[in-house]
Amino acid sequence: MAIITMIPQAVSLLRGTHSWVNDGFFGQISCKLFTFAQGCSMACSIFTLTALAFERFFAVAFPMWKVVTKRRTRWLIVLIWIASFAYPAPFFYAAKVLLYDGIPYCVEDWAPVFDPRRSQAIYTAVSFVFLYAVPLLVISVLYVKYRFLVFQLLGQDHIASTTQWLILCHVDKGFQNFIDHPTRSSLRPGFYFTFQFINKLM
Protein backbone atom coordinates (compact mmCIF):
# COMPACT_ATOMS: atom_id res chain seq x y z
CA MET A 1 0.00 0.00 0.00
CA ALA A 2 2.91 2.34 0.65
CA ILE A 3 4.04 1.96 -2.98
CA ILE A 4 0.54 2.69 -4.26
CA THR A 5 0.03 5.77 -2.08
CA MET A 6 3.42 7.37 -1.46
CA ILE A 7 4.76 7.53 -5.04
CA PRO A 8 1.70 9.35 -6.47
CA GLN A 9 1.59 11.56 -3.38
CA ALA A 10 5.24 12.49 -3.83
CA VAL A 11 4.67 13.30 -7.52
CA SER A 12 1.70 15.49 -6.61
CA LEU A 13 3.70 17.39 -3.98
CA LEU A 14 6.69 17.92 -6.27
CA ARG A 15 4.80 18.93 -9.40
CA GLY A 16 1.66 20.43 -7.91
CA THR A 17 -0.53 18.38 -10.24
CA HIS A 18 -1.82 14.81 -10.53
CA SER A 19 0.36 14.13 -13.54
CA TRP A 20 0.58 10.45 -12.63
CA VAL A 21 -2.98 9.94 -13.95
CA ASN A 22 -4.82 10.62 -17.20
CA ASP A 23 -8.45 10.55 -18.25
CA GLY A 24 -8.05 7.16 -19.89
CA PHE A 25 -8.96 3.74 -18.52
CA PHE A 26 -5.71 3.09 -16.67
CA GLY A 27 -5.75 6.61 -15.27
CA GLN A 28 -9.19 6.05 -13.80
CA ILE A 29 -8.11 2.71 -12.32
CA SER A 30 -4.96 4.15 -10.75
CA CYS A 31 -6.96 7.05 -9.27
CA LYS A 32 -9.44 4.67 -7.64
CA LEU A 33 -6.71 2.32 -6.37
CA PHE A 34 -4.69 5.22 -4.96
CA THR A 35 -7.65 6.68 -3.07
CA PHE A 36 -8.78 3.27 -1.83
CA ALA A 37 -5.29 2.25 -0.61
CA GLN A 38 -4.80 5.59 1.12
CA GLY A 39 -8.08 5.32 3.01
CA CYS A 40 -7.58 1.63 3.81
CA SER A 41 -4.11 2.09 5.31
CA MET A 42 -5.28 5.04 7.40
CA ALA A 43 -8.34 3.19 8.72
CA CYS A 44 -6.33 0.05 9.49
CA SER A 45 -3.79 2.04 11.51
CA ILE A 46 -6.50 3.82 13.52
CA PHE A 47 -8.48 0.65 14.27
CA THR A 48 -5.30 -1.21 15.26
CA LEU A 49 -4.22 1.54 17.67
CA THR A 50 -7.69 1.54 19.24
CA ALA A 51 -7.60 -2.24 19.67
CA LEU A 52 -4.14 -2.03 21.27
CA ALA A 53 -5.41 0.59 23.72
CA PHE A 54 -8.17 -1.80 24.83
CA GLU A 55 -5.72 -4.69 25.14
CA ARG A 56 -3.32 -2.73 27.33
CA PHE A 57 -6.13 -1.38 29.48
CA PHE A 58 -7.58 -4.83 30.18
CA ALA A 59 -4.09 -6.24 30.86
CA VAL A 60 -3.64 -3.74 33.70
CA ALA A 61 -7.21 -3.26 34.95
CA PHE A 62 -8.20 -6.95 34.83
CA PRO A 63 -4.98 -8.99 34.79
CA MET A 64 -6.76 -12.21 35.80
CA TRP A 65 -9.20 -12.05 32.92
CA LYS A 66 -8.23 -13.97 29.83
CA VAL A 67 -9.34 -11.25 27.45
CA VAL A 68 -6.72 -11.73 24.74
CA THR A 69 -6.67 -15.21 23.24
CA LYS A 70 -5.39 -16.52 19.92
CA ARG A 71 -8.92 -17.08 18.64
CA ARG A 72 -10.14 -13.62 19.61
CA THR A 73 -6.99 -12.05 18.18
CA ARG A 74 -7.56 -13.76 14.82
CA TRP A 75 -11.18 -12.59 14.73
CA LEU A 76 -10.16 -9.09 15.73
CA ILE A 77 -7.59 -8.91 12.93
CA VAL A 78 -10.20 -10.09 10.44
CA LEU A 79 -12.72 -7.50 11.67
CA ILE A 80 -10.12 -4.73 11.51
CA TRP A 81 -9.27 -5.56 7.91
CA ILE A 82 -12.93 -5.89 6.91
CA ALA A 83 -13.67 -2.47 8.39
CA SER A 84 -10.54 -1.06 6.79
CA PHE A 85 -11.62 -2.31 3.36
CA ALA A 86 -15.22 -1.20 3.87
CA TYR A 87 -14.41 2.40 4.78
CA PRO A 88 -12.76 3.46 1.47
CA ALA A 89 -14.89 1.14 -0.71
CA PRO A 90 -17.16 4.04 -1.87
CA PHE A 91 -14.13 5.59 -3.54
CA PHE A 92 -14.26 2.88 -6.18
CA TYR A 93 -17.20 4.92 -7.44
CA ALA A 94 -16.47 8.43 -6.18
CA ALA A 95 -12.79 8.69 -7.15
CA LYS A 96 -12.63 10.02 -10.71
CA VAL A 97 -10.17 11.73 -13.02
CA LEU A 98 -11.49 15.07 -14.18
CA LEU A 99 -9.86 17.57 -16.50
CA TYR A 100 -9.36 21.17 -15.39
CA ASP A 101 -7.89 23.36 -18.13
CA GLY A 102 -6.74 20.20 -19.85
CA ILE A 103 -4.86 18.93 -16.77
CA PRO A 104 -6.07 15.65 -15.18
CA TYR A 105 -6.81 15.58 -11.45
CA CYS A 106 -7.84 12.65 -9.26
CA VAL A 107 -10.77 14.05 -7.28
CA GLU A 108 -13.77 12.94 -5.23
CA ASP A 109 -16.92 13.30 -7.34
CA TRP A 110 -20.20 11.60 -6.31
CA ALA A 111 -22.16 12.66 -9.39
CA PRO A 112 -24.33 11.63 -11.16
CA VAL A 113 -25.82 8.98 -8.86
CA PHE A 114 -25.54 11.07 -5.67
CA ASP A 115 -25.64 14.74 -4.90
CA PRO A 116 -21.97 15.79 -5.04
CA ARG A 117 -21.88 18.34 -2.21
CA ARG A 118 -24.26 16.58 0.17
CA SER A 119 -22.68 13.15 -0.32
CA GLN A 120 -19.17 14.49 0.14
CA ALA A 121 -20.23 16.34 3.30
CA ILE A 122 -21.87 13.24 4.78
CA TYR A 123 -18.89 11.01 3.97
CA THR A 124 -16.47 13.55 5.44
CA ALA A 125 -18.56 13.90 8.61
CA VAL A 126 -18.79 10.12 9.07
CA SER A 127 -15.04 9.79 8.51
CA PHE A 128 -14.33 12.51 11.07
CA VAL A 129 -16.53 10.86 13.70
CA PHE A 130 -15.43 7.23 13.28
CA LEU A 131 -11.80 7.73 12.24
CA TYR A 132 -10.84 10.73 14.38
CA ALA A 133 -13.20 11.85 17.14
CA VAL A 134 -14.32 8.48 18.53
CA PRO A 135 -10.91 6.71 18.34
CA LEU A 136 -9.14 9.74 19.81
CA LEU A 137 -11.62 9.93 22.69
CA VAL A 138 -11.48 6.18 23.36
CA ILE A 139 -7.68 5.98 23.23
CA SER A 140 -7.28 9.07 25.43
CA VAL A 141 -9.70 7.81 28.09
CA LEU A 142 -8.18 4.32 28.15
CA TYR A 143 -4.59 5.54 28.43
CA VAL A 144 -5.44 8.09 31.11
CA LYS A 145 -7.20 5.35 33.08
CA TYR A 146 -4.27 3.02 32.38
CA ARG A 147 -1.84 5.59 33.75
CA PHE A 148 -3.79 6.09 36.98
CA LEU A 149 -4.09 2.34 37.50
CA VAL A 150 -0.36 1.84 37.09
CA PHE A 151 0.41 4.63 39.56
CA GLN A 152 -2.06 3.17 42.06
CA LEU A 153 -0.63 -0.33 41.75
CA LEU A 154 3.09 0.48 41.73
CA GLY A 155 3.51 4.01 42.97
CA GLN A 156 5.46 6.84 41.40
CA ASP A 157 8.77 6.00 43.11
CA HIS A 158 8.67 2.40 41.94
CA ILE A 159 7.89 3.47 38.37
CA ALA A 160 10.82 5.92 38.39
CA SER A 161 13.14 3.21 39.72
CA THR A 162 11.91 0.75 37.09
CA THR A 163 12.47 3.32 34.35
CA GLN A 164 16.05 3.86 35.52
CA TRP A 165 16.79 0.14 35.45
CA LEU A 166 15.28 -0.14 31.96
CA ILE A 167 17.61 2.64 30.78
CA LEU A 168 20.61 0.89 32.35
CA CYS A 169 19.63 -2.41 30.73
CA HIS A 170 19.29 -0.68 27.37
CA VAL A 171 22.74 0.90 27.74
CA ASP A 172 24.17 -2.44 28.79
CA LYS A 173 22.63 -4.05 25.71
CA GLY A 174 24.25 -1.41 23.55
CA PHE A 175 27.67 -2.24 24.97
CA GLN A 176 27.14 -5.98 24.67
CA ASN A 177 28.36 -6.26 21.09
CA PHE A 178 31.51 -4.33 21.95
CA ILE A 179 32.14 -6.45 25.05
CA ASP A 180 31.59 -9.75 23.24
CA HIS A 181 33.61 -8.70 20.20
CA PRO A 182 36.26 -6.19 21.36
CA THR A 183 38.45 -6.79 18.31
CA ARG A 184 35.71 -5.41 16.05
CA SER A 185 35.67 -2.10 17.87
CA SER A 186 37.90 0.87 17.13
CA LEU A 187 38.02 1.80 20.85
CA ARG A 188 41.23 1.39 22.78
CA PRO A 189 41.77 -1.79 24.86
CA GLY A 190 41.55 0.17 28.10
CA PHE A 191 37.92 1.02 27.38
CA TYR A 192 37.19 -2.66 26.90
CA PHE A 193 38.27 -3.56 30.42
CA THR A 194 36.38 -0.57 31.86
CA PHE A 195 33.13 -1.60 30.17
CA GLN A 196 33.76 -5.22 31.12
CA PHE A 197 34.03 -4.18 34.77
CA ILE A 198 30.81 -2.08 34.51
CA ASN A 199 29.06 -5.01 32.88
CA LYS A 200 29.99 -7.30 35.77
CA LEU A 201 28.64 -4.79 38.26
CA MET A 202 25.33 -4.49 36.38
Task: Give the pLDDT of residue 156.
Answer: 54
Number of domains within the chain = 1
Task: Answer whether residue 57 is part of any domain.
Answer: yes
Q: How far apart are CA 48 and CA 40, in angstroms?
A: 12
- Greater confidence (190 vs 56) lies with 56
Task: Answer whether residue 139 is part of any domain.
Answer: no
Using DSSP's 3-state secondary structure scheme, residue 97 falls into: strand
- Reported residue count of the chain is 202
157-200 pLDDT, tens per residue?
Answer: 555 555 444 444 544 444 444 444 444 444 444 444 444 444 44
Q: How far apart are CA 71 and CA 78, in angstroms?
A: 11
Task: Answer whether residue 131 is part of any domain.
Answer: no
Task: Give the pLDDT of residue 68.
Answer: 81
Position 75 confidence tier, pLDDT thresholds 50, 70, 90:
very high
List the Cα angle 83/4/10 in 5-degree steps.
120
The CATH number of the domain holding residue 66 is: 1.20.1070.10
Task: Answer whether residue 6 is part of any domain.
Answer: yes
Spatial CA neighbour of 80 closest among 104, 113, 56, 48: 48
Question: Domain range holding 19?
Answer: 2-116
113-140 pLDDT, tens per residue?
Answer: 899 899 999 999 999 999 999 999 999 9
Q: How far apart are CA 49 and CA 178, in angstroms?
A: 36
Task: Answer whether residue 99 is part of any domain.
Answer: yes
- Taking the whole predicted model, whether its pTM rises above 0.85 is answered as no
